[in-house]
Amino acid sequence: MWDGFEGIVAQFERDDVVKVRARAKLYNDQLELTVENVIPVAEKDYELADFLPHTKQDVEKLYARLNEAVHAAENPWVKTLLVSVVEDASIAPKLKRAPAAMTMHHAYIGGLLEHVVSLIELSRLVASHYPELNRDLLLAGIVLHDIGKIEELSCARGFGYTTEGQLLGHIALGQAIVRRKIEAISDFPRPLAAVIEHLILSHHGSLEFGSPRLPLTREAVALHFLDDLDSKMAAIETTMASDAGIGDWTERNPALRRNLLRTSQYLAEPPSEPASKAASAGIAMHAAAPKGTDGSKP
């Protein structure tokens, strides 16, 4: 086929979806393909979800849980605001598709929604433990903190940053989305608006992580912790689930920048009863571990 190579190449661009016709043969027990033709496919003829990783959960159910939570807010201003965001016809479809991040955690179609719903449920538990936390404010922070990702990230063909995303970032984009929604609600109390926008601005927790303000309210501090915890738990889950790594050690986790130890066997296998010689001696503590994961001086 490669006679017409240049003509074929001219038909598609980076990130286009194509159909490939090829001839297969076995060579040294490995499958080898000889490409015969490459044909671009129109967007209507394929499902993006077939080419990008996506959440294992049902996006519509996640959305329903989000919507339910939002309608359960007690404070009427908070409820009106959150409903107006979540049910916005131009926001909802994007919310159902956006990943929560490019690579660090929940990096798949529906990841943002999965992250938000996880946080809503986590925050209910945590707020039951710290009753001084205002549940409505915390809910507002959770629902809105990453809303700018729907404009920052593109998942048209593959995941990427939009130019607007690069220039402004999801924190400023999110604040702008929320402010517009607030301005559309007549008489929304301005102090409450500032407290809510502050949740978005401060949720990365420190200036060097891109938050232009430090968390200054109880709920802003809690939001930062919960967001960070949920991201890290998801990132660890992904690494732990992967086959990569050596022995009990995982490959390097990109969010934590270290290898992690899988400890399931240390407890899962029935250990000997205390005070009797343990069968678990079989777990060799002196097996090789990855080199220098914590930067301390050797």
- What residues numbered 272-291 form the site for its own copies, per CB under 8 A? 272-278, 280-281, 283-291
- # chain residues binding its own copies, by CB under 8 A: 116
Q: Considering only residues 213 through 252, tell me which ones interact with its own copies, judged by CB under 8 A.
A: 213-214, 216-219, 221-222, 225, 228-229, 232-233, 236-237, 240, 247-249
What element of type H or E holds 30?
strand 30-40
Single out the segment in contact with its own copies by CB under 8 A; choices: 18-26, 35-43, 52-60, 133-141: 133-141
| φ/ψ bin of 96: left (φ > 0), alpha (ψ from -120 to 50), beta (otherwise) | alpha
Q: Which residues contact 75 (CB under 8 A, 6 or more apart)?
A: 136
| Spatial contact of 114 and 106, defined as CB atoms under 8 Å apart | yes
| 27, 31, 190, 244: which one binds its own copies (CB under 8 A) | 190
How far is it, in rounded angstroms, from Cα 63 to Cα 284? 46
Contact 205, 223 (CB under 8 A): no
Burial class (CB in 10 A: 0-12, 13-18, 19+), 74: exposed
State yes or no: residue 271 binds its own copies (CB under 8 A). yes
- State the Cα–Cα distance between residues 145 and 143, nearest whole angstrom: 6
180 contributes a contact to its own copies by CB under 8 A: yes
Report whether 108 contacts 54 (CB < 8 A): yes
Minimum CB–partner distance for residue 276 and its own copies (Å): 6
Shortest separation between residue 33's beta carbon and its own copies, angstroms: 21
**Half-sphere exposure of residue 219, counting CA atoms within 13 Å on the CB side?**
24
Please identify, using beta-carbon distances, which residue of 55 and 118 lies nearer to its own copies.
Answer: 118
Residue 90 binding its own copies, by CB under 8 A? no
When asked if residue 72 is in the footprint of its own copies (CB under 8 A), the reply is no
| Residue 45 is a binding residue for its own copies (CB under 8 A) | no
Question: Which parts of 95-114 interact with its own copies (CB under 8 A)?
Answer: 101-104
Binders of its own copies among residues 150 to 179 (CB under 8 A) are 154, 156, 158, 160-169, 171-172, 175-176, 179
Binding segment for its own copies (CB under 8 A), chosen from 18-26, 52-60, 61-69, 270-278, is: 270-278
Q: Closest Cα to residue 151, out of 172, 136, 134, 132?
A: 172
Give whichever of 67 and 293 is closer to its own copies, judged by the CB atom: 293
User: Residue 153 is encoded by which pair of tokens?
Assistant: 């990230």
56 binds its own copies (CB under 8 A): no
With CB under 8 A as the contact rule, which of the stretches 31-39, 54-62, 109-117, 208-216 interacts with its own copies? Answer: 208-216
Among the candidate windows 17-25, 30-38, 56-64, 195-203, which touches its own copies by CB under 8 A? Answer: 195-203
Cβ atoms of 145 and 200 within 8 Å: the answer is yes
C-alpha 145/C-alpha 198 separation (Å) is 10
